[in-house]
Each structure stands twice: as C-alpha cells, then as structure tokens.
Structure 1
Amino acid sequence: MNCNQFNSISLEEVLLSLGHLPTKQNEKEAWYLNPFASESQASFKLDKRINAWYLHSEGVGGKNTDFMKKYLNASVNEVLDWAQKQNFSSFHQQQQIKKSEPNYTIDEILDLQNPNLKQYLQGRGLSPKVYDYIKEVRFTVGEKKLYAIGFENLSGGFELRNSFYKGSLLKKDISILNLNSNLQDISNLQDKNIKGVAVFEGFMDALSFIEMQKSFAGDILVMNSIALINKSVECLKNYSDINIFLDNDNAGIKCKSQIIKYFPEAKDHCSIYSNHKDLNEFLIHRINNDVAINLDKHSEKFPEADKLEEIKQEPEIKNSNGFKMKR
C-alpha cells in the first residue's frame, strides 16, 4: 500500500477502526473529540467531501497518512505497514486486481535453538528463564531464508525480532500470556475470576518483566501495536487489577491515558523506569550497572512492593512449563 492508496480510504472508517465515533455529523462533515488528547468539546473535524481532517484545538490537519503519523507517532513507512495489515472495506472495494499473495513462507516453528538468537536475547538482558514464552521461527522472504525470535499472538501470527530484523508474520493481534498453571480460554475470561494483569506495548518489555519478577502469577497482555489499544481495552474489562508498564514516550503516554480513562483504578508503574524509554532499556541498564545497583538498598529487588502498589501475587510458579498461550 502506498500513500495515495491509504489516503483514498475513508477516514471515517479509519477512525471507527480505532474506536473513535463522531459526536455529531451530517452528509458533509463529522465532528469528533480530539483523538490525540482528552477534551470535553469536539474540535476534530472530518470533511467527508475531500476526506480530510482538521484539528481546531491544535491548528493541524491533513489526510489519512498525516493523521496516522500523529496518532501512532510513527514514520510514513510504519504507517503504511500498519495500514497494510488492516482490513479496510473501502480499500478492497477500490481494488481492481486480485490481491497478490504474500512473498513469504513460514518454514519451521521450533523451540529456541539458534545460538545467535540466544546471544541476541542475552544482549537484551534476557536469560533462559524466558525461553518457554517464545519460539524460533524460520521463514523465507522472496528467496532469502531468515530466522528470528517469534512471539505468538491470539490470531496465530508472530512478532519477530533478531539483531537486524524487526517485523511480523500473518495477522496482527494482541498476545495474552497466562502465568498461572491453569489453561484459560480467552472467550471465557469473565468466568475465570482473573485477578491481575500486567500490560505492555511490546513483547521484549513483557519478557523483561518475566525476567525480573519472581512472584507475579496473573496474566500478561502485550498490545504488539498501539493501534490495537481498543482490543486491549476490551480484554482488560475482564480483570480487576490492571497494572500498566507502557513506554515513556508520547505513544505510550497516550495509550496509558486511554486505559486509565476506561479503568481509573489501573496502576501506572512507569515511574519505576522513568529515566528510560521502556522496561527492557531499564533492565539492560540494571545489568550493566549491577555492582552499583546491588549497593543501593532500594534497588535490591524488582519491582519494589511499594512502587507496585501491592500487585496481587501468588506463590512463585516453580514449573514454567505450566505456561499457556491463550487462543
């Protein structure tokens, strides 16, 4: 998908996919509450005639690409990559040719074996403690054979990482890890009396939490993309104790605000790593400064009980093979 194709998609449909509904509209225009910040009166105008937007409260506007660049705090290429993974009906209606098949194939999905991938994880501060939560994915793009660490989502897709590659395969979706030994069905969460959940933007931060945390026995929700904030919020309705560990950047702050808007009782723990972009960066810093940190009595353990505001915990799971990926 290129910029012209994305800009030809109905912005009204894009906004709807992100969970934004107009406060008033007619055949020519629609008004929305600011999608980028909280406000009480709608200042975001969509001109349906030219498929363009203008935010009166900030004096900015543009086409779909401009909107998603600001919404995702991302580059044009990242926006187009996100748009390509969506299923916009107005785009499919415009296509005059059959959609081409993906130029990749998944060759194997294995338990982690490759020493280069293990070394990459070690460089990110992660030990064999996290191996049970990831896979080694071997795949072919064009004629090039590649391998990467794979983190599965609820739709069977994978987030991929290695030392030189960051991407995804198959459908984009959130991931939910169950750190309890009992298998739980995502479709019946409301019947399982789930106690706690920790929320992360990316799986490296989630793995970092698992690496550092010894006794948390709730669920872990990984958004995998901030564009999946609405699905994440829907799943969070099933939890009574929500703990937020999002990135300390504009996108992370915006997502955090949106979660807290729906769940005022949710606990924000980003202050634990306030001097770092995210939890993984904090973990790497912690390892690189191990001697100094061990001398600091306040950094003896992670997370600190007072900073976590009494996250509901259960005895440590001794057998990590009890992990289940929810479907």
Structure 2
Amino acid sequence: MSKFVNIDGIRETSIVDFLARLGHHPARSSGVELFYRSMLREENTASLTVNEQMGVWFDHGGSNQSGIKGGNIIDLAMSYWYPATFYEVIQKISDVMDIPLREATGSYQREKRQQIARVSEPHYTINEIKEIGSHPAIVQYLQSRGILEQARGRMMEVHYSFERGPNEGKKFFSAGWQNELGSWELRNKIGQTDFKACLGRKSISFIAGDPEKLSIFEGYMDYLSWLRDNPQSTDSIIVLNSVNLLDTAIERSAGYREINIYFDRDKAGYAALVKFRQELPHGTDRSGVYQEYKDYNEMQLARPRSRLPWEPDHIFENNEPSLRR
C-alpha cells in the first residue's frame, strides 16, 4: 500500500455496519448506545458500547492486547487486528467494507502531514451551556434520580447538535458535567432508558478539597447522592466516569492519607476495588453503607420520598413521556 492514502471514506464508515460484516451484532441497546460482547477479549456480559451518532466506541469491561480502550473505527480495527500495522489495518477495513483506497498526493499529503499530531475534529457542536433549571425535562430527570438540589451548580444543561451522520442538524439536550479534559459527560432519560454519552474524550472528574482525605465514586450520580447525605463534607472527590479509567484514578489517589471507596456492588465494581487496594492498601471500602443495593444512588431512590402538599400523586409516572433528550 502507498505510504499516503486518502482515508476519509474509512473514517466515515459506520462502526455498526463494520462489526456486522465481521459477524458481530449488538446484544442490547440503551438509548443511542449499542452494547456488544467484546470481540477484543473474552467476556460473557456485553460491555463494549458503540454510539452510532457520534461514530465512537468504548470498551467498559477491561483492557485488550492492544491497550486501546475506545475511539473511532480505525482505533477499533487496530485493536481487532492487533498487532497489524496501520496501513495493513486500513487495507483490511477497505476489503471488509468494499471501500476503494486511492493514493493521496500533492496538497492532500501536505495537509494530512500537518494533521498528524492534531486531534480529529469533532462532528458535534455544543450550542449552549445553561444552568440547571432552564429545561423542565432535565429538572424532572434529576428529580427522578433524587439529586436535583445537589446537581445545581455542579451540573449544567448541555445543548448540542451533530454536523453529520444520521442526526445531522438535529438538536439535543442533556444534563452534563465536565471531566478533567474538559469534555462533557452527559446523562438524561429516553423513555425508560438512561442515556449516557460523552462529548469528547473520556476522563475522570476531579473536585479539589481536603488535601489528605479523598472519596472516590464510579458515577457522578452516586457522588451527588453521597453529597446529599454528607452536605458538610470537604473531601476531595474523584469520579471515575468509567471503571476503565481506574488506573488514572489510582495514580491521582496516591497522595491522600485517607481514601474512602464507594464502588458499585457488582462484579466490575468488586474487581475495581480489589485492584485499587492492591495498589493503595490504605483505601477503605465504604460500599457497606448501601450493602443491599448496587450503588449509592439506588439506595437513595429506595428511600421513601416525602411528597410535598401541592404535588400530585405519581408525579414522575404521569410525566414520563416528556423525558426526552
């Protein structure tokens, strides 16, 4: 293969179509995310997600031989055909998808050389960031998770749209918070399904506080649920945003004298706890606080809710259809 090829057609290829041609199909869906049993390693529970709208994938269940945990279709193919070279992988994608490759010459080559060290341009636009309270559907979603008051000032309403793909030009909104890279982690509800996505690159979220005391959570909703029970806490906070980011969290946690760990009470959460304590034995498992539940937020939602005098019965059930992105 020529050293320089035009791979624009490769980048625009549907990851779902690509996987289907390789014989891999989603086991289930949640909102706009499709869940696959990872084809990069052995697993029984589908934990590799594909967001077709954004053209990205992420493997939440663990590492593979390539060390690549997510990205675009080329990243996926590099993992799938590891340790093939970049140009071998491009040729394989071309063969699978019947996409002709043509040599890039002249100005195209010069332009691509200049882009080698640059991050790919996102194909979404963040149109507006608003305080929580502007959109009733987001308010109601956060109420349904029991953390509306804690979300104020800690989450924002993120209004965004896509510049290409099946949802080109359509506008969406979700509750969101930023991770350490400045990307927006999104949460909302579509019908009965919780919507999860990230606009940009995944990373942990860190909130500075007490330089000696740290509390660490898998999810942001669990952190806000804990904050509801501990409103006076000054702990520093780490939210993984994905158990795949555990190594980063361990590195950031090393300097704290006291570490309280609030991971999910499931297989992935237990594995993360074991690995964390292997590296930092002084970390304390605090999941016994919600020992009958999967996580802190689930425990909070199981508590009886005091209905205010002016609220109608079954307020959330009556308004469920309005919970849209």
Fold equivalence (TM over 0.5): yes
1: CA distance between counterparts of 2:76 and 2:237? 32
2: CA distance between counterparts of 1:6 and 1:167? 25
Describe the superposition over 1:234-293 as per-residue Cα deviations: whole angstroms up to 9, x where unpaired: 101121111000101111010011111111111111111011111100111124489xxx
Quick one: which of 157, 161, 172 aligns to 2:187? 161
- 1:104-253 equivalent positions in 2, closer than 5 A: 104-112=124-132, 113-141=134-162, 142-164=168-190, 165-179=195-209, 194-253=211-270
2: CA distance between counterparts of 1:145 and 1:222? 28
- 1:24-63 equivalent positions in 2, closer than 5 A: none
Task: Name the count of aligned residue pairs.
Answer: 220
| TM-score for both structures, normalised by structure 1 | 0.59
What residue ranges of structure 2 are gaps of 5+ in the alignment? Answer: 1-14, 24-36, 51-55, 60-68, 79-84, 92-100, 102-111, 113-118, 163-167, 308-325
Distance 1:145 1:215, change over 3 A: same
Determine if contact 2:263/2:273 at 8 Å carries over to the other structure. Answer: yes
1: CA distance between counterparts of 2:249 and 2:46? 20
Distance 1:207 1:144, change over 3 A: same
- 1:84-99 equivalent positions in 2, closer than 5 A: 84-85=70-71, 91=78, 93=86, 94-95=89-90
What residue ranges of structure 1 are gaps of 5+ in the alignment? Answer: 8-62, 181-193, 291-327
2: CA distance between counterparts of 1:109 and 1:68? 40
Q: Which amino acid aligns with 1:174?
A: I
1: CA distance between counterparts of 2:151 and 2:281? 31
Q: How far off is 1:4 after superposition?
A: 8.8
Q: Once the two structures are aligned, what percentage of the paired residues are identical?
A: 30
2: CA distance between counterparts of 1:5 and 1:255? 34
| TM-score for both structures, normalised by structure 2 | 0.60
Determine if contact 2:188/2:196 at 8 Å carries over to the other structure. Answer: yes
Determine if contact 2:130/2:156 at 8 Å carries over to the other structure. Answer: yes
2: CA distance between counterparts of 1:108 and 1:67? 39
- The yes-or-no answer on 1:65 pairing with 2:65 is no
1: CA distance between counterparts of 2:144 and 2:38? 38
Q: Which amino acid aligns with 2:200?
A: L
Describe the superposition over 1:181-215 as per-residue Cα deviations: whole angstroms up to 9, x where unpaired: xxxxxxxxxxxxx1111111111111111122122
Corresponding position of 1:77: 49
Describe the superposition over 1:67-117 as per-residue Cα deviations: whole angstroms up to 9, x where unpaired: 2746xx543435943443389598382336789854322111222221211
CA RMSD in angstroms comes to 3.2
Distance 1:88 1:285, change over 3 A: same
Distance 1:68 1:228, change over 3 A: farther
Determine if contact 1:85/1:172 at 8 Å carries over to the other structure. Answer: no
Distance 1:5 1:209, change over 3 A: farther
Give the number of the structure whose residues are more often helix, by fraction: 1
Determine if contact 2:38/2:48 at 8 Å carries over to the other structure. Answer: no
